Amino acid sequence: MLDQSAPPTAGEPAARKTSALAALTRRKPVEDLVAEGGQGEGGSLRRSLSMWQLTMISIGATLGTGIFVVLGEAVPKAGPAVTLAFVIAGLTALFSALSYAELAGSIPVAGSSYSYAYATMGELVAWVCGWCLVLEYGVSVAAVAVGWGEYLNELLDGTLGVTLPDALSAAPGEGGLINLPGLVVVLLAMVFLLGGARESAVVNTVMVAVKIAALALFCGIGFMGFKSGNYADFMPLGVTGVGAASATLFFSYIGFDAASTAGEEAKNPKRDLPRAIMLSLLIVTVLYVLVAAVAVGAWKWTDFADSEATLAAILNDVTGKTFWGTLLAAGAVVSIASVVLTVLYGQTRVLFAMSRDGLAPKVFGRVSGKTGTPRTNTVLVSLFCGALASVIPLGKLVDATSIGTLFAFALVNIAVVVLRYTRPDMPRTFKVVLGPVLPALGLVFCVYNMFGLDTVTWVVFGCWMAVGLVFYFLYGMRRSRLASEQK
């Protein structure tokens, strides 16, 4: 180390620059990441999740608000071409999912893309990725919770003939004082997560079954009102509209990577994680395309702008009765709650991994010996997400979530190529075909969708990243375990 008390010599400034650069690019070996799997302060995570449960976690985290709520925001941007926008968003997710599958099978740890970046591109990039994941998971929990409140009101109206007043069900910017349903659903998810990963997975599996049944019901009944004339002007707002819609709809695919955050609680992670990621994305994509096609066929695209709880409203219109819409609303209430549960789970596990590495406060890495869960972490994250859900409108949350996710996915596509060249002989249970070509396409699609988001979203993202970098240089860089081990 340099002697800080001695006068600097001619060579010392360059040495200090080299030392600083080395600190920012220090990488954590894959073997160390895997060896630490499950270990936290005061206890260990428990390996209890099967391949089927991992798949259900990914579907649970993905299939929900994107189709039940965000569809109504995307159709006015693209018209009937919203189906094409779903395909573009799905391709973006597919290419990234392939990269996730390879890295999840090679580095089966809780940190997801944060850990992959740490092993391939260094600590600073890993921190940036982890900070994006905090935005992705934390803010999307809030966004999903806001959407849950809309369908809860639809359900209450159809069953009891009452709705929650705007003062208690809308954000301050939308005529209310607090979105109480959004806060409540996050706190309910927190209670389930505190019970343990296996117990939460069982509850989630039941919820996923309900949501798939609800969407199948919509397709079956909605098709009876299908009008081919609604597709006559397929792209009324042009390619620009499709691009804007696909960027918004990418929110619908956020969550397929949730299984990768369960790497330290899976029974056979190297085999099961890649399978769970790909299977969940396939199931979700098929359902999205079917639901979007039926929805636009049943309703003229200009009618979507003024509707909340869109799918339920379509069923009411097609059948002339409120029963079917109420039934769908009940399914949506259950299914959107499962998204809150699984995405909140992913957020806590990413912070757990960052805490273990010293880049986040130790409180996020404490594990309960009784339940095998990071309890304090879960409570703090839930309170933060619940607070966001109670005061911020849905649209702003959706776009902020999308840009953070796209940035993290872009880094994952780069990471898989880097690891191919730096560790070509490392065992892999899944490999992306065509070498670097598909990850490169994944990167291109991510960048394309990022530039489809509006200027305000970019400003928010820039501010978020600036705060994250300040935190890293003032806290994480100094407290990093890797830094202390290399002294």
Architecture of domain 48-486: Up-down Bundle (1.20)
What is the pLDDT at residue 396? 60
Domain ranges of the chain: 48-486
What is the pLDDT at residue 2? 37
Q: What is the pLDDT of residues 184-202, one digit of tens each?
A: 888 888 888 887 777 777 8
pLDDT < 50 regions, the chain: 1-18
What is the pLDDT at residue 288? 86
What is the pLDDT at residue 20? 55
Distances (CA, A) of 448 to 48, 78, 117, 121, 296: 38, 16, 21, 23, 25
What is the pLDDT at residue 9? 45
- Encode 104-150 in three state secondary structure: HHHCCCCCCHHHHHHHHCCHHHHHHHHHHHHHHHHHHHHHHHHHHHH
What is the pLDDT at residue 278? 84
pTM for the predicted model, two decimal places: 0.77
What is the pLDDT at residue 4? 38
What is the pLDDT at residue 171? 64
